[in-house]
Homo-oligomer: A and B are copies of this chain.
Amino acid sequence: MSPAVAVNKGAATRESVVGHALSIALTDGFEGLTIGNVAQSVGMSKSGVFAHFGSREDLQLAVLDAAAQRFTDNVFMPAMREKRGLPRLRAIMRHWVIWMRNEGCPMVSAAVEYDDRPGPIRDRVVEYQTRLRRELARAVQMAIDTGELKDDCDPQQLAFEIFAVELALHHDSRLFKRNDSMVRAERSMQRLLDSYRS
């Protein structure tokens, strides 16, 4: 095998391991992620997994990074194709509702699991959640700048309220397995935007 092929193969294996680990984190949480059960799920030896991730924590951090990347790809990137302002904000909200309903968000699980446990995982979750809220507030600010939302709309406040609806959607669709939770979330989003429309 040439060095380039070996590097590609290594990257592909790493990606496959992270993909399996992401699925485990979604059902069993981040505390349910161990080198052992990921190895079993992907059909590798534990030492094989260790060759890619030096520790359980490294693996957990890689899963967080992968989850954040998937969220960006599925929610923010498609919205970038929409016009700045309300159309883009609406697109973020729409894609986010679909993401929560279909995928469930491992970051929500990680936030609850690590909110009281200082360390690198908690720091990474805080970093991603801070960035998400900042990007969301920025999208709100653009809709204020275009005159589509009221001047006195507080972008951080509306970002908090949008996030709140997403959390409740995550909760209801996963815990109650209710099909109407997406409709509820969309109605809430519509009410929210209406109350801030100029």
Contact = CB atoms under 8 A, between A and B. Distances in A.
A171 B161 contact: no
A72 interface: no
A175 interface: yes
Contacts of A44: none
A108 to B, nearest CB: 6
Interface string A183-196: 01001100100010
A130 B168 contact: no
Contact of A165 (B27, B122, B164): B164
Given A26-B116, A27-B117, A108-B112, A188 B161 contact: yes
Interface residues of A, number: 39
B174 A168 contact: no
Contact of A175 (B111, B157, B172, B188): B111
Copies assembled = 2
Contacts of A54: none
> Which applies to chain A's interface (DSSP): helix, strand, loop or mixed?
helix
- For the complex of A and B, 7 pairs with smallest distance between CB atoms: A164-B168, A115-B174, A164-B164, A167-B167, A27-B116, A112-B112, A115-B175
Given A129-B176, A191-B195, 5 more contacts: A109-B112, A111-B175, A115-B174, A122-B175, A129-B175
Interface of A: 26-29, 31-32, 104, 108-109, 111-113, 115-117, 122, 125-126, 129-130, 156-157, 160-161, 163-165, 167-168, 171-172, 174-176, 184, 187-188, 191, 195
20 contacts: A27-B117, A28-B116, A31-B31, A31-B32, A111-B175, A112-B112, A112-B113, A113-B113, A115-B175, A126-B175, A126-B176, A130-B176, A157-B188, A160-B168, A160-B172, A161-B188, A163-B171, A164-B167, A167-B171, A195-B195
